[in-house]
Chain A
Amino acid sequence: DGGITQSPKYLFRKEGQNVTLSCEQNLNHDAMYWYRQDPGQGLRLIYYSQIVNDFQKGDIAEGYSVSREKKESFPLTVTSAQKNPTAFYLCASRTGTGGAGNTEAFFGQGTRLTVV
């Protein structure tokens, strides 16, 4: 089955620690995204990548880092510089817009990160 998988589903972090959230897709999608969701805030874009070994900052990139060494994988690191990291994190992937036709985003099931 093709899809996009996030792990873990729940993650607890002590203040001052870095943590890495995993996102893997086997849809052969070029573009991948990380969003943060807070109550009443909708989805805010953290980082996105259109191609391997390239990524761009989204609207709230401060305190986060990413890598895109493989097409299938787009891990997100929440660093100690992120002042308020407790949130629900969503990863998505999408065929690049270079081709014709619809290119909806497919989402993982999310990771809930809590700072303790």
Chain B
Amino acid sequence: GEDVEQSLFLSVREGDSSVINCTYTDSSSTYLYWYKQEPGAGLQLLTYIFSNMDMKQDQRLTVLLNKKDKHLSLRIADTQTGDSAIYFCAAAPWNRDDKIIFGKGTRLHILP
């Protein structure tokens, strides 16, 4: 069945770039999302990319999509302590009963 995979942990020094990777299995996915979850809170949409795009940039965030390899990445430039959170990758397969498939989340830890 459909699946979204991402690594569980990432540690990055403050000021460096963070790159969080994700792979998905359903080639019919039309939209791919990155959500951020801070402790004890719900998920907040950070950005999304449509499947006919290769790249999307939004301030410090850059999303890269390799549709052939079904690989998605989120780059956070100049990582700050406020970026410490869990980041979820999600895929919306076309016409799959309105489901969105989430990865398990990557916990980003910022080193001083």
Whether chains A and B associate is yes
Binding site for B on A (CB under 8 A): 6, 30-31, 33, 35, 40-43, 45, 48, 50, 56, 90, 92, 94, 96-97, 102-110, 112
User: B104 contacts A94, CB within 8 Å?
Assistant: no
User: B104 contacts A107, CB within 8 Å?
Assistant: no
Listed from nearest, the 8 A-B pairs whose CB atoms lie closest are A42-B104, A107-B42, A107-B43, A31-B98, A43-B102, A109-B42, A110-B42, A50-B98
Q: Which of B35, B45, B95 contacts A97, CB < 8 Å?
A: B95
> Which residue on chain B has the smallest CB distance to residue A49?
B98
Binding site for A on B (CB under 8 A): 8, 31, 33, 35, 40-45, 48, 50, 88, 90, 92, 94-95, 97-100, 102-105
* Closest chain A CB from B107 CB (angstroms): 9
Q: A90-B42, A110-B41, A110-B42 are in contact. Are A105 and B104 (CB under 8 A)?
A: no
User: A102 contacts B40, CB within 8 Å?
Assistant: no
* Closest chain B CB from A41 CB (angstroms): 7
Bound complex: CA A85 to CA B6 (Å):
26
Bound complex: CA A108 to CA B43 (Å):
8
User: B99 contacts A45, CB within 8 Å?
Assistant: yes
* Closest chain A CB from B92 CB (angstroms): 7
Contacts of B40 in A (CB 8 A): 110, 112
User: B88 contacts A102, CB within 8 Å?
Assistant: no
20 A-B Cβ contacts within 8 A?
A6-B42, A30-B98, A40-B104, A42-B88, A42-B104, A48-B97, A48-B98, A48-B99, A56-B97, A97-B92, A97-B94, A102-B31, A104-B33, A104-B45, A105-B33, A105-B43, A107-B35, A107-B42, A109-B41, A110-B41
Contacts of B33 in A (CB 8 A): 104-105
User: B102 contacts A42, CB within 8 Å?
Assistant: yes
Contacts of A42 in B (CB 8 A): 88, 102-105
> Which residue on chain B has the smallest CB distance to residue A110?
B42
Bound complex: CA A3 to CA B67 (Å):
32
> Which residue on chain B has the smallest CB distance to residue A45?
B99
Bound complex: CA A33 to CA B90 (Å):
14
